[in-house]
Structure 1
Amino acid sequence: KAIRPLVRRAAVAKPVVVPAAPALKGAAALRAIAVHEHAHAHDHAHVHDDDCGCGHAHAPAPEQVAGPLSWRRAWSAILAVGLRPCSGALIVLVFALSQGFFLAGVASALAMGLGTGLTVAMLACLAVAAGGAATRLGRRMSGAGAARLRYAVEALAALAVLLLGVTLLGGMVAGGG
C-alpha cells in the first residue's frame, strides 16, 4: 500500500531535459585545472618527481632497473607471475572434477593459460613499441603540446572503453539476455 503512490507518480513523471552547456563548462574548467601552469603567487616550489615525499615508492629506482635485461631476471619475473593460480582455471578444474571430466578440465586450463600468455606477450610487445614511439614524439613536442596529446589519448581510450561497454550492453539487450 505504501508503494502505490510512488508507482503512480513514477508512471506520470515526465523526462527532464537538462542543457549540455553547464556540463561542457564544467568539463572545460576541469581541463583548465588539470593543465594549469605552475607559476603561483607563493614562493614554495612545486616538485613533480619520483620523490614526492608521500612516504612510499611510486616506481622502482633507476638503479634497480638499470643495465641489460638478463635471462635470470626475465625468468624470475615470469616465474613470479606464473606461480599465482588463475581463479578461472581453478573453477574450471573443480567443475570438471565434479563432473568426472578431469582431463578435459586440465586441457581447458592449459588452453586458458596459453591464450592468456599469448595475449600478455602481444600487449607487452605493443607497449614497448608504443613507448618507443611516445619517446620519439615527446622529444619533438613542447610540454603543453605533450600534455594536450596525453589528455587526448586518455579521452580516446576512455571513449573506446565506453563504446565497448555500450556495444556489449546493446548486444545483450537485443539478444534478450
Structure 2
Amino acid sequence: MGHSQAEKAASRDRVLRIASRKVRAEGVTRPGVAELMQAAGLTHGGFYKHFASRDDLIAQAAAIALAEGTAKMERTGRQNKQEPRSGLIDAYLSRRHRDAPDTGCALVTLGAAAGRDDQQLKDAYEKQVRAYLDLIAGFDGDDQEARAEAMLTLSALVGATLMSRAVSDSNLSDELLSTVADRLKRRQSPAA
C-alpha cells in the first residue's frame, strides 16, 4: 500500500528538520543520508522519493537553517525594548547559544562551506547575512552609519561564537563571549 501525498510530505519535512539541525551543528559535509533517514524513522532506500541527491537535501536543509535565524533574532531584539541591539548581543554571545549549535545561528557553522560550495548555499547564506544586517541596522536608525555598525556587530557576533565553540579552554571560550559582548555594547550606537 502506497503512502499518501500528505504522509510523503510529512516524511520529507521531518527529514529536512533533522538535516537542518545537523548542518547547524556539524556543517554540510558530515551528515550522511543513511544517518539522516534513520533519525527520521525512514529507510535509506526511500531517500530518492524525497530528494534528487544528498546535495539537494543538504542545500535545502542549509537554507532552512539559515532562514530560521531571522525570526529568532527579531524575537530576541524585541525582548529588550529599550536596547534591542544589546539584547541581541547578550543572547547571541551567550553560553546557551554557544552550547547549542544544532538550534543556533547557522551563519556560524555554514560560513566556510558557503564560501566554497555551490551557488544555492552561497545565495541562501548571502540572503541571511543581508537580513541580519537590515535587522541590526534598523535598531540604530537604518542609515549608512548604522549599516556599517551592523556589519561590524554581525561579524563580531559570528566570529566570537565560532571561536568560542572551537577552543578547548572553557575559560577562554567564556572570555571570548563576554569580552566581545561587552565591547560591542560599549560602542555608541550611531543613532545616539
Compute the TM-score of the two structures, normalised by the length of structure 1: 0.26
Compute the TM-score of the two structures, normalised by the length of structure 2: 0.24
| Structure richer in helix, relative to its length | 2
